[in-house]
Amino acid sequence: MTAIRLFLITALVMTAFAANSVLNRLALADGVIGPGAFAAIRLGSGPLALCLLVLLTRRRPHWLRPGRILPVVALAAYVGGFSFAYVAMDAGLGALILFGVVQMTMFAGAFQARESIPARKWTGAVLAFAGLVWLLWPAGAGAPPLGAALLMVAAGIGWGAYSLIGRSAADPLSETAVNFALATPLGLALWLLPAGAEIVTAPGVRLAVVSGVVTSGLGYALWYSILPRLSASAAAIAQLTVPPIAMAGGVAVLAEPLTWRFALASVLVLGGVLYSSLGRAVPRRTR
C-alpha cells in the first residue's frame, strides 16, 4: 500500500469516526431513540452487512479463536459508554474526550510493547492530556457533566484497547464481523437498562443502522485493514484528528455552540498531536 493510499484511507476512516459522534448525538438530541437502544441496534446491524460481505468473499471467520473475548468486550464497552455519554454531551466535546483518552491508552500500549517512542511524542501526549484535564475540571457551564465524561473516558479506554488488539488482525473484515456479532448480546443487555430504553422510533432506528452498517461496521473493517501498517503511537495520533471533524459536524448539523473553553482545550489537544507528529518515525523495538 502506497503512502498516499494509506493517508486517504486513514482520512476516510477518521471522517467515519467523527460521523458516529454526530449520528449518535443527533439521535439522542432529537429524542428519537434511547442510548441503550441506539447501542444495541448499532452493534446488531453492523454484522448483518459485514457477514454478508464475508460470505460473498468466501472468507472463513474464526469464531472461537484464543483471545476472542478481549476485542468483543472492548468493542461493547466503547459503544455502550459512547451512547450513554452522548445523552448529556455535545458531539465535538465527546469526540475530544474520547480520542484524547484513546491516545493515552494507545501510548500506554506502545510503552508496554516496548515500542520506541521519541521524547517529542511524549511531550505532545502530555500537552494533549493537559488539555483534557483542563476541559474536564469542574468549572461552571463550560465543563461537561462528570457522569457523562466518565462514561466517555470508559469508551475511550475500550476503543484504544480495541485498536491495539486490531493491529494483529490477519483478516480485518472477518475479525470485525465476528467482533460485532459477538458483542451484540452485550448491546441488547444495555437496551434492557432503565436509562437505555426510553423510546424507539423509525428515524432513530435509521440513524442507528447507518451508524452500525456504514460508519461503524465498514469503517472499522477499513481501520483494522490499515492498523498493521501503523505503529500504536501513530494510530493514536491519527485519531485525534477526529474531534475537530466532529465539532464541525456538530456545529453544522446540530447547531451546537462553540465555547472558548472547548476551543482552547482543542488547541492544546490538537497542538500536542501536531507536535507529536513532527518527529521522524522510529522503528519499533522487538522484545
Indicate whether 230 belongs to any domain. yes
Predicted confidence at residue 42, as pLDDT, reads 92
The one-letter code for the residue type at 209 is: V
Interhelix angle 172-191/219-226, nearest 10 degrees:
130
Where are the extended beta strands (E) located within the chain?
none
SS3 148: helix
pLDDT at 208 over 90: yes
Q: How far apart are CA 188 and CA 240, in angstroms?
A: 30
pLDDT in the model for residue 284: 42
Q: What per-residue confidence (pLDDT) applies to 138?
A: 57
The answer to whether the beta carbons of residues 123 and 75 sit under 8 Å apart is no
Would 284 be classed as within a structural domain?
Answer: no
Strands (E), 87-188: none
State the Cα torsion 207-213-218-220 to the nearest 10°.
Answer: 70
Question: Are the CB atoms for 42 and 204 separated by under 8 Å?
Answer: no
Weakest mean pLDDT among 16-20, 167-171, 215-219: 167-171
> Does a structural domain hold residue 110?
yes
**Alpha carbon 76 to its chain's center:** 11
Residue 40 lies in a domain: yes
Predicted pLDDT of residue 1: 66
3-state secondary structure of 197: coil
Residues 28-79 have pLDDT tens digits of: 888 899 898 999 999 999 888 888 888 887 777 777 677 789 999 999 999 9
Overall number of domains in the chain: 1
Q: Is 48 a member of any domain?
A: yes
For residues 276 and 62, what is the distance between their CA atoms, to the nearest angstrom?
37
In a domain, 285, yes or no: no
Residue numbers of the domain that contains 254: 3-277
pTM: 0.79
Residue 287 within a domain: no
Angstrom CA distances, 170 to 58, 59, 216, stand at: 15, 12, 19
Q: Residue 69: inside a domain, yes or no?
A: yes
